[in-house]
Amino acid sequence: MKQLYDVLIIGGGVVGSAIAREMSRYDLKIGVLEKNLDVCYETSGRNSGVVHGGFAYDTGSLKAKLCVEGNKIMGQLAKELDFKFIRCGKVLVGNTQEDMDTLKRTIKQGEANGASGLELVDKERLHELVPAVVGEFAMFSHNSGIVDPFNYTIALAENAHANGVDYYFDHQVTAIERDDDGIYSLTTSHGVFHTRWVVNGAGLGCGHISDLLGIKGYKIIGSKGDYIILDKRTGPLLPMPVYPVPSNTYMGIHVTNTTDGNVIIGPNADMVTDFTYYGVPQENMDYLAESASGLWPCIRKQDYIRNYSGILPKWVDDNGAIQDFRIEIRDEIAPRAINLVGIESPGLTAAVPIARYAIGLMAEREKLEPNPGFQPVRRGITRFEELTKEEQNRLIRENPDYGEVICRCEKVTRAEILAAIHNPLGVGTMAGIKYRTRSMMGRCQGGYCQMRIAQMIEEELGKKETEVQYAGKGSQMFFGKVRQEA
C-alpha cells in the first residue's frame, strides 16, 4: 500500500522549512523533499543575513507587505526557536542632493509600506551610529537587523520535524503526475511519493518545478552575489549594516556585521544562467573591497578569512524587469498545488509570513484542523563560549566533553560537536556540523579542527573515511589512505 501524504513540500530552504513548520500547526501528514544533504546549502545559507525593514519594495507588493510582517515578528521567532537575531539598525549613507532626494522618497515609500523607525540623520548623528563610516548624512532604519541564516533555517526545520514533518534529503524531484483522483505522484532520485497537496518551494529550481506542475512560462534568472568575510577583529568597527543609497533595482555593495562578530563585504550582482557555480574570481573580490571602502575604509587584505557567493532566483518579464513574489494556486491547471515563484530577497526576512500567506490559500480550499500537540518552542545547541564562567564550570562537571575544545578559533567544545553530529534531522556532513556550531568558521577555517571533526563523524555515525562528505553529494573528504599499514 502506497504511503499518502497530505502535503509534500519541494525544497527545504528557509521558505520551504517555514512552510513545513507553519503547516505543522495543523493536523496534516507533511513531508519535505530536499535535493541537497541539508536545509541551507543554497540561497538560504548564501546571503548577507540582513533582516530588512521593508522600505525598499514597491508599495502594495507582496515583497513589501510580507517583509514588514517578517521584520515585526523576527524577535518573537528568535525566542521561540532559539536562533541569533540582533535588531541593531541599518544606515543608508548619502553624500549628494540626489542621494538626499532618494532617501526622502525611500522613507515615504517605507512609511506607506507600514515600516516604522525610519529617519534622516545628519553627519554628526551618522558618525555616532557608525564612527568609521564615510558620508554626509543617512537614512537610519531603527528596526532593521541581522540574523544567523544557517541556524534560522535549521531551527525552522528542526521545529517542523519535532512537530511530525518528515524530511527527505538527497531527494531531487524529477517528475510530477496527477491521477484521475487528484493524487500527485512525485518521482524523486530515491523513489516515488504520493500526496494530495504539493508546494513548490524549490527556490532556484522554482521555474523547473512550476513547469513540471504544468504551470509554464515563468522566466527565472539568477543574480549571483559574491562576498568577502573579514576576521572578527574588525567587528567592533561596524555596529550595524552600512549601505549606499539604493538604485531602483539594486541595493548596492554594502558592509554588514554578523551575529557572531565578523564583517561581510558584498554583494555585487552578476546575472547568471548556471545556478550551481559559486566560485568568486579575484577581480570580483578586488571590486568589492574597492567599492565598499568608499563607505567603510577599514577593509584590509590581512583580515580576509574566506569568500563565498549566493544566487537569488529572480522572476523577470519578457523585458527583463524583476517581478514581485508570486504565490498562487492555479486551480484550472494544478489544483491543490501551491506555486511559489521568484522568492528572492527579502525572502529570509519574510519566510514565515510567506508560509502563512501560502497556507491561507490552502485554507480557502479545504478546512484545516489544528494540531493539538503543536509545540512552537525549539532549543538549539548550547554555545559554551557564550556562557558565564560559572555556567561553563557547571556544564563541565555535568559533562566532561564541554571541557575539551575542538575548534580553537570559535571555542567550540566536543560536546557541541557531538550534539551537532546527532542532530534531529540526521545530517551527517562536515558543513552540517559547521553550520550548527560555527566550527571551521574562524580565522584558520578548519585548519586545526577539521580532521578531528571528520574523525568524530566516522566514529559516531559508523562511517568509513571515504563516506564522510563535506557538503554536497559526491564531496568526499577522503578517497582512501595515503599509506597502508604493512
Domain CATH for 273: 3.30.9.10
Do 304 and 388 lie in one domain? The reply is: no
Do 261 and 392 lie in one domain? The reply is: no
Domain containing residue 261? 86-146+221-316
Determine the average pLDDT of the residues in 221-242.
97
Among 298, 316, 334, give the residue marking a domain's end.
316
pLDDT band at 430 (very low <50, low <70, confident <90, very high): very high
Residue 482 has a pLDDT of 83
Q: Give residue-wise pLDDT tens across range 69-87.
A: 999 999 999 999 999 999 9
Do 310 and 390 lie in one domain? The reply is: no
Indicate whether 138 belongs to any domain. Answer: yes
Do 410 and 268 lie in one domain? The reply is: no
Alpha carbon separation from 253 to 83, 269, 285, 346 (Å, rounded): 26, 9, 12, 16
Do 311 and 389 lie in one domain? The reply is: no
pLDDT band at 391 (very low <50, low <70, confident <90, very high): very high
Q: What angle do CA 158, 329, 333 make, to 5 degrees?
A: 125
Residue 302 has a pLDDT of 97
Q: Which helix (DSSP H) or strand (DSSP E) does residue 193 occupy?
A: strand 191-200
Among 316, 348, 364, give the residue marking a domain's end.
316
Do 106 and 250 lie in one domain? The reply is: yes
Residue 249 has a pLDDT of 55
> What's the rounded Cα separation, in Å, for the pair 386 and 361?
42
Determine the average pLDDT of the residues in 284-294.
96
Residue 21 has a pLDDT of 98
Indicate whether 440 belongs to any domain. Answer: yes
Indicate whether 41 belongs to any domain. Answer: no
What percentage of residues in the chain have a pLDDT greater than 90? 96
Q: Number of folded domains in the chain?
A: 2
Pair 16, 34: CB distance under 8 Å: yes
Indicate whether 22 belongs to any domain. Answer: no
Indicate whether 131 belongs to any domain. Answer: yes
Is the Cα torsion angle 364, 367, 372, 373 positive or negative in sign? negative
Which CATH number fits the domain that encloses residue 434?
A: 1.10.10.1100
Indicate whether 151 belongs to any domain. Answer: no
Q: How many helices (H) and strands (E) does the chain have?
A: 12, 22
Determine the average pLDDT of the residues in 251-270.
94
Catalytically annotated residues: 52
Alpha-carbon radius of gyration of the chain: 23
pLDDT beyond 80 at 248: no
What percentage of residues in the chain have a pLDDT greater than 70? 99
Do 140 and 225 lie in one domain? The reply is: yes
* 131 CB neighbour count, 10 Å cutoff: 10
Residue 315 has a pLDDT of 98
Residue 486 has a pLDDT of 63
Q: Which of 1-5, 31-35, 90-94, 101-105 has the lowest mean pLDDT?
A: 1-5
pLDDT band at 171 (very low <50, low <70, confident <90, very high): very high
Pair 263, 205: CB distance under 8 Å: no
pLDDT beyond 90 at 261: yes
Determine the average pLDDT of the residues in 360-369.
98
pLDDT beyond 70 at 301: yes
Q: Give residue-wise pLDDT tens across range 45-67.
A: 999 999 999 999 999 999 999 99
> What's the rounded Cα separation, in Å, for the pair 9 and 13?
10
Residue 4 has a pLDDT of 96
Do 312 and 225 lie in one domain? The reply is: yes
Indicate whether 367 belongs to any domain. Answer: no
Residue 250 has a pLDDT of 60
Supply the mean pLDDT for the chain.
96
Do 255 and 126 lie in one domain? The reply is: yes
* 184 CB neighbour count, 10 Å cutoff: 22
Among 316, 344, 364, give the residue marking a domain's end.
316
pLDDT beyond 90 at 404: yes
pLDDT band at 376 (very low <50, low <70, confident <90, very high): very high
Indicate whether 279 belongs to any domain. Answer: yes
Query: Residue 129: how many CA atoms within 13 Å on its side-chain side?
Result: 28
